[in-house]
Amino acid sequence: MAGADGFTKYSSQVPPVHTEERLRELRKLLNKQDGDALRIVGVGAGAWGSVFIAMLQDAYGHMRDSLQVRIWRRAGKAVDRAAAKHLFEVINSREDVLRRLIRKCAYLKYVEGRLGDRTLYADEILRDGFCVNMLDTPLCPLKVVTNLEEAVWDADIVVNGLPSTETRAVFEQIGRYWRERRTMPLIISLAKGVEASIKPVPHIVTPTKMILDATGVPDDQVLYLGGPNIASEVYNKEYANARICGSAKWRKPLARFLRQPHFIVWDNSDLVTHEVMGGLKNVYAIGAGMVAALTNESATSKAVYFALCTSEMIYITHFLSEEPERLAGPLLADTYVTLLKGRNAWYGHQLATGELTPAMGDIITGKGMIQGVSAVEAFHELLKQPSLSVIHPETKESVAPVELCPILQFLYRILIQRDLEPAGILNALRDENMYDPRQRIEVAQDKANYMPQLLSTPEKIKPTTPSRHVTGNGTVKNVESPTKPVEV
């Protein structure tokens, strides 16, 4: 059916015949018997994590005997009065939501929250279909569990919706609950973020690697899903796509299971590099928000920034992938949407206008974790290592790779060192030496500069060494780096 804008409006669900076939296929692969429901659990209830689980609930929730969907989030996070007031306005602007809450006898608590007579909590409102990081987009009601062990102990599929900076700690706890399990679940990670570990060789630590080390789940049962999409728009049925990466045995049936008319899921075998690219684009999205604010949304300035930042991303990609051309399309698409309307670009804009400061940390009320901050620290830490030296195209001297990434360097000074104001990012656009970013790409295109060790620890070296990431309050702490190599 065509809407007023001339575009076809998709139905809210995949046709029942398709959902039944896809669920039947997945149940068979997981050896589920009649009467034994397939259990899917979301861990973490940020915007994308909540939307992902809500989409599954929308599509498959009517098949309760065959599939159960639930989500875990920590209890105790209060919704402040300003957010409660805004939520009340959203509820009253949506007749369908208003009627649903009245039928559930839940409307009164939102009235009391609006008046300041009652404190609402994030897990409480999530049960009614509201994500604290995305109040403007009501979801379907979800089954929320606040006890982590209860949530995951018998799960068949676990969806990691946690920030990368929380993934390791939470999955180490989950791993302890699974010690007695005879078979391990599938894990789909949505996290976009990385850590850097410098010893025994400089390498990147991704969320799927953290999960593998923390839980002992077999390598082929951990997958990554990412793509150019905005959570609220996906739930509102705007056309979107994603890519699920991992072993062929699981990624193909999962891609079919997750696919909906408005949400197309492709599949790919290259898990780690897609996962790393998902973290990389968040770095440059912060700078894009800064430039937009500082230049009064100048199209010319934003275009210059886009040319420079994409050249840096291509440069970094060539170090990480033997066939970077395969990543070019997805990487640019994901970058484009993140620069247009992502929380990292919003964060950069707020920094440039003075609404926020780096000292406030990277966990922002109403937005959640700003993943790009820790990614800036990780990529800078990795690429400044002299052992990864390249030849500078102008001086012909051996330099650390970060020397050819001026935007990354300025973001590091603004966000991590904090010795430069956000306006300093504009200096990365003003190249007094007429240094063509094309030369940066040419340096990276030399196949001799491909560094597979950046995505893995050599098989023969397995000590535990500290890696570093930025915590929510902006401080840097050590964490244990992985000891098992990642397949590239």
Reported as a single tens digit per residue, the pLDDT across 154-193 is: 999 999 999 999 999 999 999 999 998 989 999 999 998 8
Tell me how far CA of residue 233 lies from CA of 127, 160, 278, 336, in angstroms: 21, 20, 18, 15
d(CA 205, CA 275): 10
pLDDT for 440 equals 80
Closest of 249, 248, 231 to residue 240, by C-alpha? 231
The single-letter code of the amino acid at 424 is G
DSSP 428: G
pLDDT for 128 equals 97
Burial annotation 345-374 (CB, 10 A radius, 16+ → b, else e): bbbbbbbbeeebebeebbbbeebbbbbbbb
pLDDT for 134 equals 95
Q: Please state the length of the chain.
A: 488
pLDDT for 94 equals 96
Both tokens of 58, joined, read: 């929308």
Tell me how far CA of residue 478 lies from CA of 191, 196, 199, 213, 384, in angstroms: 20, 11, 13, 16, 18
pLDDT for 453 equals 83
272-480 belongs to CATH 1.10.1040.10? yes
Sorted by where each begins, the domain ranges of the chain are: 1-161+227-269, 272-480
Which residues, at least 6 apart from 155, have a Cβ–Cβ distance to it below 8 Å? Answer: 39, 40, 41, 185
Under the phi-then-psi rule, with left for phi > 0, alpha for psi from -120 to 50, and beta for the rest, what region is 207? Answer: alpha
d(CA 467, CA 484): 14
d(CA 395, CA 428): 19
Q: What is the mean pLDDT of the chain?
A: 87
d(CA 364, CA 373): 12
To which H or E segment does residue 399 belong? strand 398-399
pLDDT for 272 equals 87
SS3 144: strand
d(CA 482, CA 488): 15
Both tokens of 163, joined, read: 């920030």
Q: What is the largest CA-CA distance in the chain?
A: 72
The model's pTM: 0.86
Decide if 281 is catalytic.
Answer: yes
Rounded to the nearest angstrom, the gap between the alpha carbon of residue 81 and the centroid of all alpha carbons in its chain is 28
Strands (E) located in 57-182: 67-72, 78-79, 120-121, 144-145, 157-160
Residues of the chain with pLDDT under 50: 1-12, 457-488
The single-letter code of the amino acid at 355 is E
d(CA 456, CA 458): 6
- Please answer whether residues 171 and 215 qualify as being in contact, where contact means their C-beta atoms are separated by less than 8 angstroms: yes
d(CA 299, CA 203): 36
d(CA 308, CA 306): 5
DSSP 2: B
Which residues, at least 6 apart from 173, have a Cβ–Cβ distance to it below 8 Å? Answer: 148
Which of these is catalytic: 281, 302, 367, 460?
281
pLDDT for 11 equals 43
Assigned architecture for domain 1-161+227-269: 3-Layer(aba) Sandwich (3.40)
SS3 214: helix
Contacts of 381-387 with C-beta under 8 Å, sequence gap 24+, read: 381/196, 381/198, 381/468, 382/196, 382/198, 382/202, 382/203, 382/204, 382/454, 383/316, 383/408, 385/198, 385/202, 387/201, 387/202
